[in-house]
Structure 1
Amino acid sequence: MAENGTLRMVVIVGSTRAGRFGPTVAEWFVGRARRRPEWDVDLVDLARAGLPETLPDLDDELPRPVRALAPRLAAADAFVLVTPEYNRGFPAPLKTAIDWYHDQWCAKPVTVVSYGRESGGRYATEQLRQVLTEVHAVTIRDTVVLPCYWDEFAADGGWPRPASECVAAADSVLDRLSWWAYALREARARRPYRP
């Protein structure tokens, strides 16, 4: 147990495509986070969440899958979005997942673990920063970027290689995310955030 209590991290797998690499990346990151005593991790796979693609009118009742996921997101002290980069952007299911919710994101830190070709998902991350600003989330500077991620497989088929640069990047991101999660949780407790 950390000095200021356990933090709740929600890791969201943003791709729903067949054959996607996102679950591999997410499981790796979750494994690193779970080595730290301050983190309690909840893994959300959008391919299994069943969120509808179409948002209703404001007066309509929220669909059951949206209501089911809401308390898990509300309980988060921090978010990690695992996303590929498709055509210089992030996947539509991830945008829809962000749009279904509002208060759940407010005044909470978010980081991105992105993967793709040579850019490693940097364009997707920059787009996410713009979108998350509108729901009053706090995107932290540090991210994990995985360019040409297929080059990081070890000879035994494991991913990533133990000496991969992404291992150090993930540890640094977890340090920064912890700081922001504690700071913002304390701030929200002292003065509730009103968007």
Structure 2
Amino acid sequence: MRLRTLTAGLTLLGTALAVSPAPAQAAVQGHGDARHDVVRDDAGTDRPAPDNRTADIRRLRVNHTGTALSTTLVLDTIAKDHWGVIWQVKTPEQGRWTVQVLKFGQTKDFTLHHRGKTVACADMTKQVTRSTGTVHVVVPRSCLDDPAWVRVGGGAFASSSDGMKQYADDARLDGEVHQAGLVLGPRLAAG
């Protein structure tokens, strides 16, 4: 099932999308996402799920400063349980990194992954504001090996408590998700 792979396996870094090199842009980038474009895994086939609000991304904001990468996803609603947000970060030297914030039952996870392994990053912070549907993460650039630029994609997912219904949204796609990973934005140089 494609969504099951996305929700359970985004910490395994997907195949990089082929993109021609481009110069890095300013350090801040915002991206609005279409409303009601969530998809549901229905027996291995992605189906539109426009009524789902718990995985529906409204905005992605990325700020790459001289000291940190700050990323924010704004969702229509944050579920009480069984949800997660994921950012994939591509850097020039080290490839893809994954930052995830998850809540499934008693399990809460806030981690940085690189090449399939958890990376220790003591100064990484997160803030979840349920009233505004906002999940904000700050990752020190030193934890990403001080990249000259980054490209960032954001995704959200939610599931029923039994895991039988799974929903996902990619901030940079309308009404679909890719099994290979999140769609990345433009290069952002450290500002």
State which structure, 1 or 2, has the greater radius of gyration over its C-alpha atoms. Answer: 1
User: What's the TM-score bracket when you normalise by the shorter of the two chains?
Assistant: under 0.3
Q: TM-score, normalised by structure 2?
A: 0.27
Structure with the higher fraction of residues in helix conformation: 1
